[in-house]
Amino acid sequence: MQATTSGWGSGWGSGFLGMLIFSGSLPATRVAVGGFSPLFLTSVRAVLAACIAIALLKLLREARPGRSDLMSLLIVALGVVVGFPLLTAMALQYITAAHSIVFIGLLPLATAIFATLRGGERPAPLFWLFSCMGSMLVAGYALSQSTEMQWSGDLLMVAAVLVCGLGYAEGAVLSRRLGGWQVICWALVLSLPVMAAIVLAVWPSGFGRVNSAEWIGLGYVSVFSMLVGFVFWYRGLAIGGTAKIGQLQLLQPFFGMMLAWLFLHEPVAPSMVGITALVVLCVAGAKRFA
The DSSP code sequence of 146-193 is --GGGHHHHHHHHHHHHHHHHHHHHHHHHHHHH-HHHHHHHHHHHHHH
For residue 6, tell me if it sits in a domain: no
pLDDT at 156: 92
Residue 55 within any structural domain of the chain: yes
pLDDT in the model for residue 149: 57
Please provide the DSSP assignment of 9-62 as one string: GSHHHHHHHHHHHHTTHHHHHHHHTTTS-HHHHHHHHHHHHHHHHHHHHHHTTP
Q: Rounded to whole angstroms, how far apart are CA atoms 165 and 288?
A: 21
| Residue 5 domain-assigned (yes or no) | no
Amino acid code (one letter) for 232:
F
Backbone phi and psi for residue 94, each to the nearest 5 degrees, phi listed first: -115, -25
DSSP 251: G
* Cα–Cα separations (whole angstroms), residue 5 to 239, 267, 286: 8, 39, 19
- Selection from 276, 275, 283, 273 nearest residue 111 by Cα: 283
Residue 4 in any domain: the answer is no
Using the 8-state DSSP alphabet, how is residue 261 labeled? Answer: H
Its pTM surpasses 0.85: no
Please answer whether residues 256 and 97 qualify as being in contact, where contact means their C-beta atoms are separated by less than 8 angstroms: yes
- Residue 228 CB coordination number (10 Å): 18
Asked, for residue 165, whether it belongs to a domain, the answer is yes
Q: Which stretch of DSSP H or E encloses residue 188?
A: helix 180-201
The tally of domains found in the chain comes to 1
> Domain range spanning residue 233?
11-289
Q: Note down pLDDT in tens along the chain; length 290 residues.
A: 333 444 545 778 889 999 999 989 988 998 999 999 999 999 999 999 999 999 999 999 998 998 889 999 999 999 999 999 999 999 988 888 777 877 887 888 888 888 888 767 777 888 888 878 887 887 777 667 656 557 788 889 999 999 999 998 898 889 888 888 899 999 999 999 999 999 999 999 888 889 999 999 999 999 999 999 988 998 888 888 887 788 788 778 778 878 888 888 877 778 777 877 887 788 778 767 76
Residue 183 Cα distances to 52, 139, 238, angstroms: 14, 31, 11
**Rounded-to-integer distance, Cα 147 and Cα 138, Å:** 16
In the chain, helix, strand, coil percent, each to 5?
85, 0, 15
Q: Check residue 152 and give its pLDDT.
A: 80
Q: How many CB atoms lie within 10 A of CB 287?
A: 16
22 domain-assigned: yes
How far, in Å, are 78, 236, 243, 290 from residue 283 at the CA level? Answer: 27, 16, 11, 10
Q: At what angle do helices 25-32 and 84-91 cross, to 10 degrees?
A: 60
Task: Note the pLDDT of residue 182.
Answer: 92
Which pLDDT does position 4 carry in this prediction? 42
Is residue 182 assigned to a domain? yes
C-alpha pair distances (Å), 141 with each of 42, 99, 156: 28, 10, 16
What is the signed CA dihedral for 127, 128, 132, 134, rounded to 10 degrees? 10
What Rg, from alpha-carbon coordinates, does the chain have?
18
> Which residues have C-beta within 8 Å of that of residue 82, sequence separation ≥ 6?
42, 46, 191, 195
Residue 274 lies in a domain: yes
